Amino acid sequence: MAKSGGTTRTDGIHQALRADILGGRLVPGERLKFPDLADRYQVSVGATREVLTRLVAEGLVVTKPHLGFQVRPLSHHDLAELTQARAEIESLVLRLSVLDGDMRWEGDAVAAHHVLERAPYRDPADPDRLTDEWSQAHAAFHHALLAGCANQRLLDAARSLRQEAELYRQWSVSLGNEPDRDVAAEHRALLDAVLARDADHAQQLLRDHITHTTQLLISGATDQPNR
């Protein structure tokens, strides 16, 4: 197979495995064995290793002595650290984005929100799961909001933290509904603050948006922290 074809094939397996993790089809803490994955995705063991290494860098997979690769386990301790880091760094990046972003950035944010508003939220076949369409639109919207930041290092750090948070976001849905929470309204408020160029308000709204899911998980989860 040509190099370009091999690269395309590996990218496809990466996207499929990533979607299975974020969609809950491969559960947190599950061991990821090379032969099983190679058979599941019809790919070589070498390509499987390459894909898993990429997912480790993205924070969705971890390696542990004697256990090998596994889907990142979820724990209160890790969640608390992740939330603190996101609340500080991601909200700062949004603030800089509001201050630095141009008209094209504004248009991209509006377009991403338009797609998010129209994406189905829950999977009709499995109401405890978010749809892949909504998850992708949600990530695209938040990435669009942050994209106006001119500091590439901070932007990369914020996006990496958001990627790690996807597992917890999926987990939070299975804990049940929150009748008093309007996630769509939170997204609209974020966009309104951004378009108004109100950096302080946008920063605070994003901090609240990030910490709300943490409060839901801590109050609703019944597992013991996995340290």
pLDDT for res 225: 44
**Separation of alpha carbons 18 and 51, rounded Å:** 9
pLDDT for res 124: 80
pLDDT for res 120: 92
Q: How confident is the model at residue 172 (pLDDT cuts 50, 70, 90)?
A: low
* Predicted confidence (pLDDT) at residue 17 exceeds the cutoff of 50: yes
**Alpha helices, DSSP H, located in the chain:** 3-22, 34-41, 45-57, 76-100, 103-118, 132-146, 152-173, 183-195, 199-220
- The number of residues in the chain equals 227
* Predicted confidence (pLDDT) at residue 150 exceeds the cutoff of 50: yes
* Predicted confidence (pLDDT) at residue 1 exceeds the cutoff of 90: no
pLDDT for res 4: 44
pLDDT for res 18: 87
The mean pLDDT value for 27-32 works out to 88
Higher pLDDT, 99 or 169: 99
Report the predicted TM-score, pTM, of the whole model to 2 decimal places: 0.73
DSSP letter at 31 equals: B
- Which residue bears the tokens 């609240």? 208
Name all domains of the chain by residue range, CATH numbers in brackets. 5-71 (1.10.10.10), 76-220 (1.20.120.530)
Alpha-carbon Rg for the chain, nearest whole angstrom, is 18
Core vs surface per residue 190-208: b (16+ CB within 10 A) or e: bbebbeeeebebbbebbbe
* Predicted confidence (pLDDT) at residue 224 exceeds the cutoff of 80: no
